[in-house]
Amino acid sequence: MAARGNPIIVTRVHPTAGVVRRARELKEVILRQFDLMKRDKAVVVAHSMGGLDARYMISRLGMDQHVTALLTVTAPHRGSPFADWSLRHLGERLGWLKIAGALGVDIDAMKDLTTESCRRFNDEVVDHPGVRYFSVSAARERRNIPAFALHSHKVVFDAEGDNDGLVSVSSSTWGTHLGTWPADHWHTINHRRLRLISVDEPATGDIAPYYLSALNEMERRGVNLGHA
């Protein structure tokens, strides 16, 4: 992206906090970088839960005036059945939520990513009419999912069908859908955990060209990538 002449802001937010906290941190980082770069508009590319953070930031934190378009990459817009499973079995039965609370650890993401929580989120966090919304999904066959994600893939598949090991295609579709990448959830940010891919499902390789292709399609549809 940088080689194409697009100024880049790489953000970092709390890894396990809830959407509201993360969205506020995201806004703070972007505005701080705007001051340094003498800019006031951006195209936001958000992976996974970052898509919810960005939607909240745009719609509820006044960032619509600074965001031209949002591209979400395998974001759980409608939640994940695996978050439901985790909250039920780990958070409640094993008491992780109580333990985390006692230790002062913020793990509100577990609650915010459930399907019920995301239903409420979508009712309350309305897309801003002045911002264009795009999305891409990802999916792999279960036999081509890393071993540590086989259980989560099955939980999501049984509930919602094709998925990337954490998020289903149906959940990650939002706004203008630009397609489904042949990758697992981690591969979509180039963390390749599986080296051997079956003959009938070839290796995806470097994921970067997929991002560039999505940006090209957004540009073809009239998005000014000079803000990216």
Q: To 5 degrees, how large is the angle CA 26–CA 32–CA 36?
A: 140
Q: Domains of the chain by range and CATH?
A: 2-219 (3.40.50.1820)
Percent of the chain with pLDDT over 70: 87
Higher-pLDDT residue of 86, 73: 73
Residue count (the chain):
228
pLDDT per residue over 157-204, tens digit each? 999 999 999 999 999 999 999 999 999 999 999 987 655 445 455 568
CA distance 158 to 11: 34
DSSP 3: G
* Helix or strand holding residue 30 (H, E): helix 19-37
Contacts of 143 (CB under 8 A, 6+ apart): 198
For residue 100, is pLDDT > 70?
A: no
CA distance 172 to 114: 14
- In the three-class reduction of DSSP (H, G, I as helix; E, B as strand; rest coil), residue 80 is classed as coil
CA distance 163 to 48: 13
**Residue 110: both structure tokens together:** 């577990």
Torsion angles phi and psi, residue 221, rounded to 5: -90, 10
Burial annotation 41-58 (CB, 10 A radius, 16+ → b, else e): ebbbbbbbbbbbbbbbbb
Residue 196: predicted pLDDT: 47
- In the three-class reduction of DSSP (H, G, I as helix; E, B as strand; rest coil), residue 7 is classed as coil
Q: What is the pTM of this model?
A: 0.90
Higher-pLDDT residue of 115, 3: 115
